[in-house]
Structure formats: C-alpha cells, structure tokens
Amino acid sequence: TKSVVFTNIHQCLTSDWKFISERPVCLSVDKGFTSVKIYDRDHCGTSPLMGPAIIQAYDTTIVVPHDAVATAKPDGTIIITIS
C-alpha cells in the first residue's frame, strides 16, 4: 500500500464530498474512456472517496485512480491510498 499526500491551503468545509458532475475520462490507454465523477476540492468530505474520481479546484486537479481511496484531513490535506 502506498500513500500520496497532497497539501493545499483550502480547508474542508463540509461533511460530504460535493459532487460537481460526471464525464468520460481516459484513465488508461488500454481501457479507454470511463465515466468518472468530479468533486469540488473546496468542499471535501470526511468520508473516504473511492476512485475512480477527480477532485478539482481552480488551481489544481487530483486524479484518484481505480484502486485508490482519497481521504481529506480537517486542514485540507488530501491523502490518496493506492492498494
């Protein structure tokens, strides 16, 4: 298991991940496009977010792969655990 830590000045403002939209994204050349949910970075939640997903903000985009989980800390840090 590997963890990647993303830090950001943004704070987690709500208890749930704020869903923005869903769109086709190519996460693998072999698998082609898959439908991926997009979440707002400025309104991250406290529950784990299962991939595939994209967390976006005006200044950053975080891709959560198929076999990964994103967890947000109260200070705005996003930790992605890849299994």
- Specify the residue for token string 């698998």: 31
> What mean pLDDT value characterizes the chain?
83
Closest CA relative to residue 7, chosen from 59, 76, 82: 76
pLDDT tens, N- to C-terminus, the chain (83 residues): 555 555 543 434 334 899 999 999 998 899 899 999 999 998 888 889 999 999 999 999 999 998 899 999 888 899 999 98
What is the bridge-based pairing of β-strands 32-40 and 53-56? parallel
Structure confidence at residue 1 (pLDDT): 56
Residue type, 46: T
Structure confidence at residue 64 (pLDDT): 94
Structure confidence at residue 31 (pLDDT): 86
Closest CA relative to residue 37, chosen from 48, 22, 47, 49: 22
57 touches 41 (CB < 8 A)? yes
